[in-house]
Amino acid sequence: MYINPLIENLERKYPSGNRTSILRLDMNENPGGLPETFVENIKQEITSEFLSTYPDKEPLITSLANFHNIEKNCIAVTDGSEMALKYIFEAFSKPGNYFVSVIPTFEMYAVYANMYGLKHKAVKIDSQFQIDIDALLHSIDDETSIVSLLNPNNPIGRPYTDEEFKLIADKTREVGALLIIDEAYHYFYKHTQLPLLEEYNHIVILRTFSKLFSIAACRIGYAISSPTIIKMINNVRPTFDTNSIALLFANHIINNKSLLDKLIEEELEGRLYLIDALKSAGYEPISDGGNYITFKPKISAQVLADKLLKEWNIAIKTSGYDILKDYIRVTTGSIRYMKEFINALLSLDK
């Protein structure tokens, strides 16, 4: 039996354990979720007839086009923005060429690069958690297929400036590489690079409904790009890759401005509360715009994570990267959950 060596040699890690009965501050979901009344109202539309028909993306694509004031053929809706990434790497990777990104960053980029035969040029974030733009630009050459920029970067790293995006957009266009700008944490960090799409036709911007929009369980996201790139993304996806329940919830969310404003306000209020509480307790929180805070605890990061889970039913994120081995990352949410976390932290981290 033949096995593709690119697949056979992949090293994958998956979240493990039951996360339904704990305070989930480890994967940047909204710990409070959507308002219960909002969810119940939408559930009334999920009838037996609704479930018996194949999904239709058109209503959501129309809503997103109106929301962003762009043409519908510039949008591809996918089974989470992570699946959009897979389609992009499948369509635009030239085996043997390079994929360029900073590290640490979202780990699925490197997984997909390996899966489709790209070699990874990784530009390390420095000890002050800064990103060396000159080093990043120098890494992009004629043998580069794809470059990714997560803005703001997860789990750490300052946001890129408009000028830096322009430099990288120019360099990737010059060498014929595709540029991914991942805006998974937009709305927590409101600045966007969507205007670049008016000048460049080789850029893909990714958005997700898993973070602020609070439907990670539904697995839905989307890509915004030139019609040519969107066509290639659609060419490699299955006929029905996004389920109807996800599409229904996403369409209601994107058309409910008051809900979006409320979600933004609650998370920001909680994030600022936690930053102040950590500083008051002598910690040095690092927060550059996402719904997460990274900081160094007083005891071992892994020991603290284990104790928080065992004694308080709170999950947080540790890292296998050397630069972050002494740090933890905590998802931010409303003040209610941030108070629960800080109380647990102060009782254990001493």
Residue-wise pLDDT for 192-226, tens only, equals 999 999 999 999 999 999 999 999 999 999 999 99
Q: Which long-range contacts (CB under 8 A, 24 or more apart) does 214-217 make?
A: 214/29, 214/30, 214/32, 214/33, 214/34, 214/253, 214/263, 215/34, 215/246, 215/249, 215/250, 215/253, 216/27, 216/29
The whole-angstrom separation of Cα 200 and Cα 99 is: 19
pLDDT confidence of residue 19? 76
How large a percentage of the chain has pLDDT more than 90?
91
pLDDT confidence of residue 277? 98
Phi first, then psi, for residue 140 (nearest 5°) are -95, 120
CATH number of 22-34+258-348: 3.90.1150.10
CATH number of 54-255: 3.40.640.10
The whole-angstrom separation of Cα 155 and Cα 292 is: 8
Residues paired with 294 in a beta bridge: 286, 329
Beta carbons within 10 angstroms of residue 12's beta carbon: 8
pLDDT confidence of residue 128? 87
- Peptide bond preceding 104 in cis form (omega within 30 of 0): yes
Mean pLDDT across 91-116: 95
User: Does residue 12 surpass a pLDDT of 80?
Assistant: yes
pLDDT tens-digit profile of 264-301? 999 999 999 999 999 999 999 999 889 999 999 999 99
Give residue 17's pLDDT band: very low, low, confident or very high (50, 70, 90). Answer: low
Say how many CA atoms lie within 13 Å of 251 toward its Cβ.
Answer: 18
Give residue 14's pLDDT band: very low, low, confident or very high (50, 70, 90). Answer: confident
pLDDT confidence of residue 155? 85
The ranges assigned to domains in the chain are 22-34+258-348, 54-255
Mean pLDDT across 253-270: 97
Phi first, then psi, for residue 40 (nearest 5°) are -65, -40
